[in-house]
Amino acid sequence: MVFGSNIRLPVDIIFSQHLKPVNLTDSQHVMQLRKTLKETHDNADKNIEKYQQYVKKNYDKKCTDKFYDVGDHVMVSKIVRSKLEPLYEGPYVVTKKKHPVYELKTIYHPEVNQRCHFNRLIPCNRPAEGSRPNPEGIPTSTTVRRSARLRALENRTRRQSPRAPGG
């Protein structure tokens, strides 16, 4: 397609019985090349359009538009974050909507506005009245959460460990 003709390999030349004699003038040869190139490009355009429709159809199957109303609470996905940072920041409140872009303000700092595309937003529940985020990011609970597997393992090791005398 790039050069306007089929590739002729050395094997093709060796084993071909006869080559087609070329009885074309230069202008005829150029016209034939242009015609072949046009047909090839048209064929490629059709294939590209067909593939684009196929990809769009598959994308549309999986993609769902999410619509938010003014006053809805949402979280915004972080574009750049480190490995251990949370995936989302917020909560935010939708102040203006012009789908697919929404204008948001934070609950805790209402003067800060942000505009986001809907594909970065996820719905969230309203925070409890009067609750504020912990500024240091330190958990306020002192109890350690354990999975059922770890609790069972701790209970087994506690039962199996020998007790100290007098204890």
* pTM flag (> 0.95): no
Residue 52: its pLDDT value, please? 96
Beta bridge partners, 93, equal 73, 105
- Residue 99's SS3 state is coil
Positive or negative torsion for Cα 124, 100, 84, 131: negative
- Residue 152's SS3 state is helix
pLDDT per residue rounded down to tens, the chain (167 residues): 566 677 777 777 777 766 666 687 888 888 988 999 999 999 999 999 999 999 999 988 887 778 888 988 898 988 888 888 888 887 889 999 888 899 998 887 778 788 988 888 888 877 666 566 555 554 454 455 567 777 788 788 777 766 655 54
Q: Distance (Å, rounded) from C-alpha 122 to C-alpha 139?
A: 24
What is the biggest distance separating any 2 CA atoms in the chain, rounded to whole angstroms?
Answer: 113
Structure-token pair, residue 69: 């109303």
